[in-house]
Amino acid sequence: MVEKVAVITGAGVGIGRACALGLLARGWSVVLVGRREALLEATAADAGEHADRAVPFVADITAPEAVTRLFAAVGERFGRVDLLFNNAAETMPYIPTEDVEADDWHRVMGSIATGTFLCSRAAFRMMKEQSPRGGRIINNGAPSAHVPRPDSIAFTAAKHAVAGMTRSLSLDGREHGIACGQIDIGNVTPADRPQPAVLQADGSRRVEPTMDIRHVVDMVAAMAELPVDVNIQSVTVMPSAMPYVGRG
C-alpha cells in the first residue's frame, strides 16, 4: 500500500485529535502539530498499534519560521504531503463587539486566519513540486463562516477569512492537482463537561443539540480519501436540530 501522509494542526485535543486517530486507523501516517508536546504525545500513544505512524511536531503555526521548519521536516521524513487539515484555532468568550480587546482579536485571527494561510502556503509549495504532484487541503471552517453567533466578531471574521482562503486555494490549485475543501462543524458533544447554554440571537440562552465526534471523523476521512480530481468543496456536518438555518 502506498503511504499516505497527513499534517493535522491542533492535533492534541478535540477534533484534530479525533481526526488524527481516525486517519491513523485507516492507514495514514500523520504528523501531529500543536504547541503542547505532552498533548501531542498523548494523541500518538492513544493510537495504539498505529502509533508508529504518528509523528508529533511542536510548532506555533502563527510563526512563519516555525511553519517552514514543520514542512521541511515533513519533506525530509516522508518526501511528500498528501493532506493538510487546517484545524487549529484559538477561541475567546462571547464578548460584545465594543469590549473586544485588540490582543484577543489578533490572537484569534492569528491562530485561525494566519495559521491557515501559512500552513496552506507551505503545503501548496510542496504539493506543486512533489511527485506524484498534487494533494488535498481541508480547512476547518464553522457555521460561523456563514452565519454568526452574537458577540463573536473575532471568531466570525476569522472563519469568514478561512472560507475565502478555501475558495482561493481551490481555484489556484486546479492546474497543480491540489484540491481544497472546507468542513463546517456544528456542535460536538463535549467529552468532559455538560453542553453549556449558548446565547441566541433573541437574547435567550439555550442548550443546543450535539453530535458524536465520530461523524466529523468519518466526513474528514471521506474528504481525505477522494482522488484529487474529485473534491467536496464545502460540507456542513451538524446535529439536525441545531439552530443554524435561520439562526438569526
**Cβ neighbours of 67 (radius 10 Å):** 24
The answer to whether 101 touches 62, Cβ cutoff 8 Å, is no
Q: Tell me what percent of the residues of the chain surpass a pLDDT of 90.
A: 92
> Which residue do the cell numbers 437574547 mark?
203
Average pLDDT over residues 158-167: 98
Say how far apart CA 13 and CA 35 lie, in whole Å. Answer: 11
Go through the domains of the chain in sequence order and give each one's CATH number: 5-237 (3.40.50.720)
State the first-to-last Cα distance of the chain, in angstroms, to the nearest integer: 48
Give tens-digit pLDDT for 5-48: 999 999 999 999 999 999 999 999 999 999 999 999 999 999 99
The confidence band for 88, taking pLDDT boundaries of 50, 70 and 90, is: very high
Give the three cell numbers for residue 33: 502539530
Say how far apart CA 70 and CA 187 lie, in whole Å. Answer: 30
